[in-house]
Amino acid sequence: MNCVITFDSIHRVMKAERILKSEDVSLTLVPTPREISSECGMVVQVGCEELERVQEIFNKNRLEIEGIYQIDEKKKTRKSMKV
């Protein structure tokens, strides 16, 4: 299952991408799903199993996140819930 992490600005999304790449975390940048309210149009998508590690990395780098959501792929509605 995938999780998405939202940030308040593209600047922080870009920073997140750079930090995760340097830590060899696999990620995709995707448009913000419609169900999610976010300040910015792009979000960071990672496997949910990576979430704990990802949060640790962001904490260590003092990168402030806005929210974390789980994407329910089975029901095609892509229902998101805040973790």
Partner 1 sequence: MLGVYFDNAATSYPKPERVIEAMRDYFLNVGANSGRSAYHHAQEASRIVFETRECVAQLIGAKDSSRVIFTSNATEGLNMAIMGILNEGDEVVTTSMEHNSVMRPLRYVEQTRSVRIKTVQCSQKGELDPDDVKRNIGLQTKLIVMTSASNVTGTLFPVSEVSRMAREFEIPMLIDAAQTSGCVPLDVTKDVFDVVAFSGHKGLLGPQGTGCLYIREGIDLRPIRYGGTGSHSEFEFQPDFLPDRYESGTLNVIGIAGLGAAVNYLLEKGVENVRAGEEQLMESLLDTISHMEDVTVYGTGDSRYRTGVLSITIDGMEPSEVGYELDAHYDIALRVGLHCSPAAHKTIGTFPEGTIRISLGPFNTEDDINLLCNALDEITVRK
Which residues here bind partner 1, judged by CB under 8 A?
8-15, 17-18, 29-32, 39-42
- Residue closer to partner 1 by CB (options 9, 26) is 9
The nearest distance, CB 10 to partner 1, in angstroms, is 4
Q: Please, which residue, 62 or 76, has the CB nearer to partner 1?
A: 62
* Least distance to partner 1, CB of residue 52, Å: 25
CA 19 from chain centre, in angstroms, equals: 13
Distance CA 8, CA 15 (A): 12
Based on CB atoms, which residue is closest to partner 1, 31 or 49? 31
Q: Pick from 53, 45, 37: which is nearest to 70 by CA?
A: 45
